[in-house]
Amino acid sequence: MVASLSWPARWVAYMVGFDGGKDEGIRLIETASRYHGENADDAEMSLVLLYNREHRYADALGALTQLQRLFPHNRLLWLEAGATALRADHPADAERALDTGFAMLADDHRPRMYGEQALWLYERGAARVSLGERHEAASALHDALLAHGRAWVDDRVHTELGKLADLDGDRATARHEYEVAVKLADQDDDPVGKEEAERLLKTGYRPPTITKP
């Protein structure tokens, strides 16, 4: 995506990781997304990634909504919307986005990326764990493991299974699931997943407070 931007935007994008250029880089890509050129859609997708990196989840969801209007048959936009809503601690919104995406997935016969089914099921399971839907969450998570995805997806599935065990008061099983998650995270270089699993090994899982509309 960066390679397809104009050279000034591309140069700034390379500088995003540095304090001096990050804000200006995002501003320039935001400007590029508003032009009616061939790079505008690439810029919008870049913003989704950058906003998520900066924990600007509302902005990321806004960019995804725009992309969904432009590409209504791209199922992966709904997958990313669900994942972003989860990062924002809005599991009900995540579940709605994922339900829409699953309906699209069932009727979409185009090729799937490796491990895509497992990823969809993991995201659905994680949303249901946060919502306290234990039985439905366990079903989705076990199906995710059977779908044979990437190791980093499996490590996060085991973390969610550990949360379910904690909710059931089964600390021994929870610790086992978190330990499996740590090993898989090391295997597939997933520091984010490893950090969460190690934290939950020490503290256990406490469900979030879900505010109903």
Instruction: Give me the pLDDT at residue 30, please.
Output: 85
Q: Which residues of 9-42 are buried (b: 16+ CB within 10 A; e: fewer)?
A: bbebbeebeeeebbeebbebbbebbeeeeebebb
Is the pLDDT at 190 greater than 50? The verdict is: yes
Name the residue among 88, 31, 89, 28 with its Cα closest to residue 61: 88
Per domain, the residue ranges of the chain are 1-72, 89-213
Average pLDDT over residues 120-141: 97
Q: Over the stretch 71-119, which tens digit does the pLDDT of each residue have?
A: 999 999 999 999 999 999 999 999 999 999 999 999 999 999 999 999 9
Instruction: Give me the pLDDT at residue 14, please.
Output: 67
What is the Cα–Cα distance from 5 to 51, expressed in whole angstroms? 18
Q: Over the stretch 25-68, which tens digit does the pLDDT of each residue have?
A: 788 888 888 877 778 888 899 999 999 989 999 999 999 999 99
For domain 89-213, give its CATH number from 3.40.630.10, 1.10.260.40, 3.40.50.2300, 1.25.40.10: 1.25.40.10
Is the pLDDT at 191 greater than 70? The verdict is: yes
Name the residue among 71, 93, 67 with its Cα closest to residue 82: 93
Is the pLDDT at 131 greater than 50? The verdict is: yes
The token pair that represents 170 in the structure block: 């089964």
What percent of the chain clears pLDDT 70, i.e. is strictly above it? 88
The token pair that represents 138 in the structure block: 């366990």
What is the Cα–Cα distance from 139 to 129, expressed in whole angstroms? 11
